[in-house]
Each structure stands twice: as C-alpha cells, then as structure tokens.
Amino acid sequence: MSADSESRGPAWLLPASGLARLHDSLREAGYQVIGPRVVNGAIVLRELSSADELPFGWGVTLAPGGYRLRRRADHAAFAHSAGPGSWKQFLHPPREQLWSAHRTPDGGYSADSAAASDAKLAFIGVRPCDLRAIQIQDQVLGAPTHPDSTYASRRSSVFIVAVNCTEPGETCFCTSMGTGPRAGRGYDLLLTELTGPGDHTFVVEAGSAAGEATLAGLDLRPADPGAMRRAQASVSEAAGKMGRTMHADGLRDLLARSHDAARWEDVASRCLTCGNCTMACPTCFCTTVEDVTDLSGDHAERWQSWASCFDLDFSYVHSGPVRSSGESRYRQWLTHKLGTWHDQFGSSGCVGCGRCIVWCPVGIDITEEVAALQAELGGPEAGE
C-alpha cells in the first residue's frame, strides 16, 4: 500500500473471522495481546482474551470535550478513532516502581532494582497516528544515548499489528501532521479493513520477519487487484475526511516568538489546568519520582509516575513554582509540543490524534488555539 510496504512482499486477504486465529497464534507465541475493547461507554485498550472482544460494529462521535459510542451499520472492528487511552499506558506505564531498599540486621541496607516484567506485548489495532506516537516516544525514552531501561526492554519485544485508517473522527488531523491515514514504517503486520454488503475482509501486509512468520498460520489468499483498489481508495478517501486541520508549517518559529501573545491569557481564562490533555496525549512523556518509606523506616521505595506541565509542582524549584499562572502552563504545553520538540527530538510532538481536544473537559481545541496564534502573530499561515 504505502510505497515502502510494497517492497516488503505480497499483500493477502484475510476474512474477518481470521482475526481469531491471528489473536490466538500471538497468544500461543507467548504474547499478551492488547487491543481496543468497549468498556463502560468508551473504546479502551485492554488485554483481549479473544478476538471477539474487539469492538465489532462500534463507532464513535467526537467533539471538543465530548465522546460517544455509536452503533455502525457495518461490523467494522477498527472504524473508530482514538479513545481515552493510548499505547503509552503499556510502554510507559502511569506508575512504576524503580527500586526498593531494606535495612539489613547488621545496620546496612540492601537495594533491589524493580524486576522488569518479561511479558511480551502484542498490540492489535495500532492506528497510523499512534504508530508514529510510539516512534516519537522511542526517540525520547528509548534513544541509545540515555535509554530508559525498562521502557527499552518492554519496547524491544512488542509486536505491532497496525491498521490503516479508513474512518477519521471529527477531531482528527493526522494528514496535517503527516502521520496518516496510511501507516508509515514500524509495524509487523498492517491491516486495511474492507467492509461492504456481505463482505468483511482485511488486506494484510507484513512489515517485518516476525510479521511474515505470523502469516504462516493464517487462512490467507492473495489479494486481488480489485481488493487492493478498494483498500487504496478507502484510505485515500480517509485523508479527505479529517475533522480538523492544523497549518503545521513554521510552527516552531511562530511559537518561539509567541511569548507575549495575547492569546495565552484568553486560553488561560478557559483552561482548568487539570492536566487531562497531557495525560491523554500519546507522546507526552514527563514523569516525577517519589521516595516513600514505611512506618518502621526499614523499607524504602522509589516510584516513578506520570507528571504534567499543568501541575504546579512540575516547575517547583527552591521556594516556589516557576510557572504559576495558567498562561505560562498552557504556553509550556503548546510551545513544547509544537515548537521546541523540533529542537530536542527533530520532529513535532503532535501526531494529530485529537485526544487532547476530546478529553479536555472544557473542549479546548489545539487546532483552534494554533490558528488564533497564527492570526495574532502573523507569518506564513496568517489569516487562514
């Protein structure tokens, strides 16, 4: 499908019923299989005990600060855009013990680093925007210079089944960020879902040797040109159905000169500084560490947990926080995500998944805030 996946060998057709075999063979290979599932009014990512738990026939309606499940006319399993969770829950968990220490009878102490879990994870249904988000976190947390060792060890054994996007949501803008709707590199298997009257099949392509090996056990037939054309067309159409746009050109420079923009005060009057946007965002990676002791003082632990730049403690240095106003905290979020991220990691920190728009309780829309800054500060995209 994408230019570089064509070089990876032939495309196959898998009937929807074949997802069960794919799921089971990954489990047999020792993977904990994680994928989308309907839980309590939302499509969340959880361990799947069978492929039947995939959200067949469910879609979503998205709005700033609004998320509702809806029944679809077809049985599509992957025609829903980003939900409340993202794959970082598994690769970069919300809370994790780093080490513990105990006082020993001789008055010394012994320390143990937390045992890295040896669970192998398989992710089913990774959308192109989220595939890119995983790669952005790889760059931040897994880069060879200073890798986060537990991240790197978890990440090294992940098996990724990506799904090309055929149904973007009202808050999606991956085309603006160049991350979708067609998956880039980095998957083991790539699916494109085809639904039609009496038909529910997947075009399957392998992107790695591990992916290719998985194909062996599946009920596949070679993809015919008609199916390939339909798959191509539905992904191309998806590109035209993005609910949002962001003019991403020149954002790094725009944000660098945005310090005194009036828009920050405007958005701060609406922003709750609750931190939902940063925690829902699949690329935000900040953490804090806390040392705890028990009542006896003989046992100590160090824990790492997600932190947010909207948190007052985040910028606390001797005698107080550096960013106490709402303006300065919202500005930090946006200028890092879309601006200085380029300087640090060579790309934007935004993949256009729309989560921060949907999961903001008051519906603050990153695309709208950027457009307002562009209009206020001028530059290449002013007035658009």
- Where do contacts with ligand SF4 occur on this chain (CB under 6 A)? 271-277, 310, 360-362, 364
20 is in the binding site of which of ligand SF4, another protein, none (Cβ under 5 to 8 A by kind)? none
Least Cβ distance, residue 358 to another protein (angstroms): 6
**Long-range CB pairs of 188-191, under 8 A, 24+ apart, other chains included:** 188/159, 188/160, 188/161, 188/214, 189/22, 189/160, 189/161, 189/162, 189/214, 189/215, 190/1, 190/5, 190/161, 190/162, 190/163, 190/164, 191/14, 191/78, 191/161, 191/162, 191/163, 191/164
384 binds another protein (CB under 8 A): no
Least Cβ distance, residue 38 to another protein (angstroms): 11
Helices 366-377 and 263-270 cross at an angle (nearest 10°) of 160
260 is in the binding site of which of ligand SF4, another protein, none (Cβ under 5 to 8 A by kind)? none
**Residue 270: which residues within 8 A CB-CB, separation 6 or more?**
362, 364
41 is in the binding site of which of another protein, ligand SF4, none (Cβ under 5 to 8 A by kind)? another protein
> Going residue by residue from 320 to 339, which x/- string records binding to another protein, judged by CB under 8 A?
----x-x-------------
> Going residue by residue from 64 to 83, which x/- string records binding to another protein, judged by CB under 8 A?
-xxxx--------------x
Instruction: Write down the residue that tokens 């991220």 correspond to.
Output: 341
296 binds another protein (CB under 8 A): yes
Least Cβ distance, residue 13 to another protein (angstroms): 34
The answer to whether 281 and 356 are in contact (CB under 8 A) is yes
**Residue 177: which residues within 8 A CB-CB, separation 6 or more?**
129, 246, 248, 348, 350, 351, 352
DSSP string, 48-112: -SSGGGS-TTEEEEEETTEEEEEE-SS--SS-----S--THHHHS-SEEEEEEEEE-TTS-EEEE
308 binds another protein (CB under 8 A): yes
How far is it, in rounded angstroms, from Cα 373 to Cα 259?
11
Least Cβ distance, residue 353 to another protein (angstroms): 15
How far is it, in rounded angstroms, from Cα 22 to Cα 50?
10
Least Cβ distance, residue 314 to another protein (angstroms): 9
84 binds another protein (CB under 8 A): yes
* Binding span for another protein by CB under 8 A among 124-132, 165-173, 293-301, 345-353: 293-301
Q: Closer to another protein at the Cβ: 299 or 342? A: 299
221 is in the binding site of which of ligand SF4, another protein, none (Cβ under 5 to 8 A by kind)? none
Q: Is 163 helix (H, G, I), strand (E, B) or coil?
A: strand
* Binding span for another protein by CB under 8 A among 6-14, 152-160, 193-201, 354-362: 354-362
Q: Closer to another protein at the Cβ: 150 or 192? A: 150
Least Cβ distance, residue 287 to another protein (angstroms): 11
User: 348 phi and psi, to 5 degrees?
Assistant: -75, 155
Q: Closer to ligand SF4 at the Cβ: 129 or 360? A: 360
Q: Closer to ligand SF4 at the Cβ: 117 or 305? A: 305
Q: Closer to another protein at the Cβ: 213 or 289? A: 289
294 binds another protein (CB under 8 A): yes
Q: E strands of 174-329, at which residues?
A: 189-196, 199-206, 221-222, 287-293, 299-306, 316-317, 320-321
Q: What residues make contact with another protein under the rule CB under 8 A?
A: 39-42, 44, 65-68, 83-85, 89, 94-95, 269-276, 279-280, 290-297, 305-306, 308, 310-313, 324, 326, 358-359, 361-363
